[in-house]
Amino acid sequence: MFSPELIARLAAELDHSEKTRVQVEHFSKRYPGMSIEDGYAISRAWVQMKIAGGRVVRGHKIGLTSRAMQISSQIDSPDYGTLLDDMFFEPGDIPASRFIAPRVEVELAFILKKKLEGTHLTVDDVLDATDCVQPAIEIIDARIEQFDRHSKTMRKVQDTISDNAANAGIVLGGRKVAPRDIDLPWVGAILRQNGVVEETGLAAGVQGHPAIGVAWLAMKLAPWGECLQAGEVVLAGSFTRPVTAKAGDRFDADYGPLGRFEFNFT
């Protein structure tokens, strides 16, 4: 396990990277013994730095939920990060200068109406605790280089986890729906970039049902004495591959019966 001093120093590196828009080298390369637990410790320390600076927790995100992403990352389970108040954007213009290397993912957001906690939770427990489900776009970013500047080796999952699970932004749009008023695995979306269809997918790509990840997250938080709180937003995981974005790009997210919204990187 990393020492508290090292955890604090690496969290400060991430904070400085985000502010300066200059990426840092892989933690896992510099510290070959780095574990997934070390990654979460760094992520938590960074989030606490942000809270101390005035940020407010608005929810959580689940990443690496699709089978394809897990295989590419050489893991067999998702990861998670924290959503803060300054990560939320309305459909419309989004400042590209907020990000280093933004990518866009198609997801569903669960907005909770009551606390979700425990070590044995089911899809029904998640649906019971959910006020509504809403289309959402996650903007992921990389304060740690995706590919090492020297060897071109891809970063490890420990790096991504420490980087708050690549968390950077969320756009909520479309129509809110009660969780049992629609067959969630069959919710589909079309993502257009500058008028071209770049991605399509079904929410079933998220472990078969998007609520499965929400239950998993609540159970992962339980050993820390934490839970998902009423009013929080939980991003259930992407059911498309991430699409690279840059200044000037126009995106159109079409969720069919759940609505359509646009956003632009300006």
Q: What is the pLDDT of the chain when averaged over all its residues? A: 94
Distance CA 245, CA 193 (A): 9
Nearest to 107 by CA among 39, 25, 167: 167
- Would you kindly state where each structural domain of the chain is located, as residue ranges? 4-265
Is the distance from CB of 136 to CB of 235 less than 8 angstroms? yes
pLDDT at 71 over 70: no
Per 3-state DSSP, the chain is made up of helix, strand and coil in percentages (nearest 5) of 35, 30, 35
The confidence score (pLDDT) of residue 68 equals: 58
Range 229-253 average pLDDT: 96
Spell out the CATH class of 4-265.
Answer: alpha beta
Dump pLDDT digits (tens) for 155-185. 999 999 999 999 999 999 999 999 999 999 9
DSSP for 71-83, written as a single string: HHHT-SS-EEEEE
pLDDT at 250 over 90: yes
Q: Residue 27: what are its φ and ψ, rounded to 5°? A: -65, -40
Whole-prediction pTM value?
0.94
**Amino acid letter, 119:** T
Secondary structure class of 169 (helix, strand, coil): strand
What is the percent of the chain with per-residue pLDDT over 70, rounded to a whole number? 95
